[in-house]
Amino acid sequence: MTKIHERGRAIELRMAGETIPRIATLLDVSKGSVSLWLRGIALPAPVQQIMRERAQQNRLLAQETRRTMTHRKLDAASSEAASLVARHKVNAGQALIMCSLMYWCEGAKSRNDSEFTFTNAEPLVVAGFLSLLRRAVPLDERKFRVRMHLHEYHSEPTQKAFWSSVTAIPEQQFSATYWKPHTGKSIKAGYPGCIHLRYYDVAVARRIYATARAFLAGVVK
Q: Mapping DSSP to helix (H, G, I), strand (E, B) and coil, where does residue 19 land? A: coil
Query: Sheet harboring 144-150: ordered strands across?
Result: 117-120, 194-199, 144-150, 178-179
Spatial contact of 163 and 195, defined as CB atoms under 8 Å apart: yes
CB 107 within 8 A of CB 196: no
Per-residue pLDDT of the chain (221 residues; tens, 9 = 90+): 667 788 888 888 888 888 888 888 888 889 888 888 888 888 888 888 888 888 888 889 999 999 999 999 999 999 999 998 888 888 999 999 999 999 998 888 887 888 899 999 999 999 999 999 999 999 999 999 999 999 988 999 999 999 999 999 999 999 999 998 876 677 788 899 999 999 999 999 999 999 999 999 998 87
* Domain range summary for the chain, segments of one domain joined by +: 3-82, 92-220
Note the pLDDT tens digit of each residue in 193-212: 999 999 999 999 999 999 99
Task: Supply the pLDDT for residue 181.
Answer: 83
pTM value surpassing 0.85: no
Neighbours of 113 (CB within 10 A): 16
What's the pLDDT at 184? 66
* CB 102, CB 133: distance < 8 Å: no
CB-facing half-sphere around the CA of 103: CA atoms within 13 A: 33
| CA distances to 23, 113, 138, 221 from 216, in Å | 60, 17, 23, 9
pLDDT at residue 1, as a whole number: 61
Residues found in the chain: 221
Task: Output the pLDDT for position 64.
Answer: 94
Task: Please report the pLDDT score of residue 80 as a whole number.
Answer: 93
User: In a 10 Å sphere around its CB, with 0-12 CB exposed, 13-18 middle and 19+ buried, how is residue 15 labelled?
Assistant: middle
- Distances in Å between the Cα of 61 and the Cα atoms of 69, 75, 105, 173 are 12, 21, 41, 54
Instruction: Report CA dihedral (80, 82, 84, 90) to the nearest 10 degrees.
Output: 160
Q: What is the pLDDT of residue 156?
A: 96
pLDDT score of 188: 80
